[in-house]
Amino acid sequence: MSITAMALLAGWLTVAAPPPVASSPPAATSTAKAEETKAWVERLKGLRDHMHTAFGVGPDLTLLDPDQGVEIVREAWPQISQPDVKTGLLKTFAFSKALPKTHAKLFLVLDLGMNDSDPEIREYAASYLEEYAGKEVAGDPQKYAAWFKEFGEMDPADVLKPQTTGVAKAESSDASNSNATGTIAQAGALTAEGWQLWQAQKFADAIPKFEQAVALDPDAVNAWNGLGWARFNSGNSEGAVTAFEKCVQLEPNHPAALNGLGQVYLSWREYDQAKKFLTKAAAQAPAAWFGLARLYMLTGKYTAAERWINKALATSPNDKSLKQMLAAAEAKQLPDELRTQIEPPGRPASTPAAQATAQGWQQFNQGDMRSAEQSFRAALAKDPEDAAALNGLGFCLINSGNAAEAKVNFEKCLELEPNAAGAMNGLARCLKAEGKDDEAIAVWEKMCKAFPGPTAATVGLATTYLERGEKAKALPLFEELVKSMPNNAEFQAGLDAAQ
- Go through the domains of the chain in sequence order and give each one's CATH number: 255-342 (1.25.40.10), 352-498 (1.25.40.10)
Cα 20 to the center of its chain, rounded Å: 20
The rounded radius of gyration (Å) of the Cα atoms in the chain is 24
DSSP-derived letter for residue 349 is P
Question: Residue 401: which region, alpha, beta or left (left: phi > 0; alpha: psi -120 to 50)?
Answer: left
Q: Contact at 8 Å (CB) between 478 and 494?
A: yes
Nearest to 166, CA basis, from 190, 140, 137: 137
* b/e map 3-28, b = 16+ CB within 10 Å: bbbbbbbbbbbbebeebeeeeeeeee
In order, the DSSP letters of 346-383 are -SPP-SHHHHHHHHHHHHHHTT-HHHHHHHHHHHHHH-
Of 19-23, 63-67, 205-209, the one with minimum mean pLDDT is: 19-23
* CA–CA gap between residue 428 and residue 447 (Å, rounded): 10
pTM reported for the whole predicted model = 0.52
Q: How many other C-beta atoms are found inside a 10 Å radius of the C-beta of residue 196?
A: 18
Residue 9 pLDDT level (bands cut at 50, 70, 90): very low
Nearest to 226, CA basis, from 194, 254, 249, 199: 194
Q: Contact at 8 Å (CB) between 20 and 489?
A: yes
Q: Contact at 8 Å (CB) between 397 and 391?
A: no
Stretch 429-440: mean pLDDT: 93
Per residue in 412-426, pLDDT (tens digit) is 999 998 888 889 999
Stretch 461-466: mean pLDDT: 92
Question: Residue 201: which region, alpha, beta or left (left: phi > 0; alpha: psi -120 to 50)?
Answer: left
User: How does the average pLDDT of the chain come out, rounded?
Assistant: 81
